[in-house]
Amino acid sequence: MQTQANNIIGLDVGDKRVGVAMTNTLARLPSPYATLVRDDTFWPKLQSLITDEAVVRVVVGLPRNLSGNDTGQTRATKEFIAELKERTGVDVVTQDEALTSHQAEQELRNRGKGFAKGDIDALAATYILEDYLNTPRGS
Protein backbone atom coordinates (compact mmCIF):
# COMPACT_ATOMS: atom_id res chain seq x y z
CA MET A 1 0.00 0.00 0.00
CA GLN A 2 1.49 3.30 -1.08
CA THR A 3 1.01 6.44 1.01
CA GLN A 4 -0.01 9.49 -0.98
CA ALA A 5 1.87 12.69 -0.28
CA ASN A 6 -0.21 15.79 0.15
CA ASN A 7 1.27 19.24 -0.13
CA ILE A 8 1.62 22.07 2.32
CA ILE A 9 2.21 25.60 1.07
CA GLY A 10 3.68 28.55 2.90
CA LEU A 11 2.66 32.10 2.08
CA ASP A 12 4.52 35.36 2.60
CA VAL A 13 1.64 37.83 2.25
CA GLY A 14 2.29 41.34 1.05
CA ASP A 15 0.10 44.12 -0.28
CA LYS A 16 1.29 43.66 -3.88
CA ARG A 17 2.57 40.08 -4.03
CA VAL A 18 2.32 36.77 -2.18
CA GLY A 19 5.34 34.51 -2.11
CA VAL A 20 4.54 30.80 -2.22
CA ALA A 21 6.67 27.88 -1.06
CA MET A 22 5.71 24.22 -1.14
CA THR A 23 6.57 20.92 0.46
CA ASN A 24 4.83 17.60 0.71
CA THR A 25 3.88 15.85 3.90
CA LEU A 26 6.31 13.01 3.26
CA ALA A 27 9.55 14.69 2.15
CA ARG A 28 9.08 17.88 4.22
CA LEU A 29 11.67 19.79 2.19
CA PRO A 30 10.22 23.23 1.43
CA SER A 31 11.31 25.14 -1.64
CA PRO A 32 10.24 28.35 -3.40
CA TYR A 33 7.30 27.69 -5.70
CA ALA A 34 5.95 30.95 -7.13
CA THR A 35 5.08 34.56 -6.54
CA LEU A 36 1.49 35.58 -7.17
CA VAL A 37 0.54 39.18 -7.89
CA ARG A 38 -2.40 40.44 -5.85
CA ASP A 39 -4.55 41.54 -8.75
CA ASP A 40 -7.92 40.36 -10.10
CA THR A 41 -6.43 36.97 -10.98
CA PHE A 42 -4.94 36.30 -7.55
CA TRP A 43 -7.72 34.30 -5.87
CA PRO A 44 -8.48 32.09 -8.91
CA LYS A 45 -4.74 31.35 -9.32
CA LEU A 46 -4.33 30.50 -5.64
CA GLN A 47 -7.41 28.27 -5.69
CA SER A 48 -6.09 26.46 -8.78
CA LEU A 49 -2.73 25.95 -7.11
CA ILE A 50 -4.41 24.53 -3.99
CA THR A 51 -6.57 22.18 -6.06
CA ASP A 52 -3.99 21.14 -8.67
CA GLU A 53 -1.24 20.49 -6.12
CA ALA A 54 -3.45 18.65 -3.58
CA VAL A 55 -2.73 21.19 -0.85
CA VAL A 56 -3.99 20.07 2.56
CA ARG A 57 -2.65 22.95 4.66
CA VAL A 58 -1.61 26.55 4.15
CA VAL A 59 0.93 28.13 6.50
CA VAL A 60 0.66 31.91 6.47
CA GLY A 61 3.48 34.05 7.83
CA LEU A 62 2.15 36.36 10.53
CA PRO A 63 4.07 39.63 10.76
CA ARG A 64 4.65 41.33 14.10
CA ASN A 65 7.08 43.99 15.20
CA LEU A 66 10.31 43.04 16.96
CA SER A 67 8.55 43.31 20.32
CA GLY A 68 6.03 40.71 19.19
CA ASN A 69 3.14 43.16 18.96
CA ASP A 70 0.61 43.37 16.16
CA THR A 71 1.08 45.98 13.44
CA GLY A 72 -1.05 47.26 10.59
CA GLN A 73 0.37 44.48 8.42
CA THR A 74 -0.62 41.91 11.08
CA ARG A 75 -4.23 43.08 10.85
CA ALA A 76 -4.13 43.02 7.04
CA THR A 77 -2.72 39.49 7.10
CA LYS A 78 -5.44 38.33 9.50
CA GLU A 79 -8.04 39.72 7.08
CA PHE A 80 -6.30 37.85 4.27
CA ILE A 81 -6.42 34.64 6.33
CA ALA A 82 -10.15 35.03 6.96
CA GLU A 83 -10.77 35.45 3.23
CA LEU A 84 -8.45 32.52 2.43
CA LYS A 85 -10.41 30.23 4.76
CA GLU A 86 -13.73 31.39 3.32
CA ARG A 87 -12.67 31.01 -0.32
CA THR A 88 -10.77 27.72 -0.10
CA GLY A 89 -11.95 25.77 2.92
CA VAL A 90 -8.39 24.48 3.37
CA ASP A 91 -6.73 24.15 6.79
CA VAL A 92 -4.89 27.43 7.52
CA VAL A 93 -2.32 27.95 10.28
CA THR A 94 0.00 30.84 11.08
CA GLN A 95 3.72 30.99 11.69
CA ASP A 96 5.77 33.91 12.98
CA GLU A 97 7.57 35.45 10.03
CA ALA A 98 10.04 37.61 11.95
CA LEU A 99 12.82 38.79 9.64
CA THR A 100 12.16 36.17 6.94
CA SER A 101 12.11 38.75 4.13
CA HIS A 102 15.35 40.27 5.39
CA GLN A 103 16.93 36.81 5.64
CA ALA A 104 15.76 35.95 2.11
CA GLU A 105 17.13 39.18 0.64
CA GLN A 106 20.49 38.62 2.34
CA GLU A 107 20.71 35.06 1.02
CA LEU A 108 19.91 36.19 -2.52
CA ARG A 109 22.49 38.99 -2.33
CA ASN A 110 25.10 36.52 -1.09
CA ARG A 111 24.52 34.38 -4.18
CA GLY A 112 25.86 37.24 -6.28
CA LYS A 113 23.20 36.99 -8.97
CA GLY A 114 20.41 39.36 -9.86
CA PHE A 115 16.99 38.81 -8.33
CA ALA A 116 13.54 40.34 -8.34
CA LYS A 117 11.35 41.28 -5.38
CA GLY A 118 9.21 38.24 -6.14
CA ASP A 119 12.25 36.03 -5.55
CA ILE A 120 12.54 37.47 -2.05
CA ASP A 121 8.85 36.78 -1.39
CA ALA A 122 9.03 33.13 -2.52
CA LEU A 123 12.21 32.49 -0.52
CA ALA A 124 10.71 34.18 2.55
CA ALA A 125 7.70 31.86 2.18
CA THR A 126 10.16 28.95 2.18
CA TYR A 127 11.62 30.12 5.50
CA ILE A 128 8.11 30.50 6.95
CA LEU A 129 7.23 26.96 5.90
CA GLU A 130 10.55 25.59 7.15
CA ASP A 131 10.06 27.28 10.55
CA TYR A 132 6.57 25.80 10.76
CA LEU A 133 7.84 22.29 9.98
CA ASN A 134 10.59 22.64 12.57
CA THR A 135 8.15 23.40 15.39
CA PRO A 136 6.79 20.49 17.44
CA ARG A 137 3.27 21.09 16.09
CA GLY A 138 4.40 21.08 12.40
CA SER A 139 3.08 18.07 10.53
Q: Is 2 inside any structural domain? A: no
Number of domains in the chain: 1
For residue 56, what are the domain limits?
Answer: 7-133
Mean pLDDT of 122-136: 91
pLDDT digits (tens, 9 = 90+) for 111-128: 887 888 888 889 999 999
What CATH number did the domain enclosing 86 receive? 3.30.420.140
Instruction: Give me the half-sphere count of Cα atoms (radius 13 Å) on the Cβ side of residue 94.
Output: 17
Q: Give the pLDDT of residue 4.
A: 59
Dihedral sign (CA 108, 109, 110, 113): positive
- Tell me the pTM: 0.87
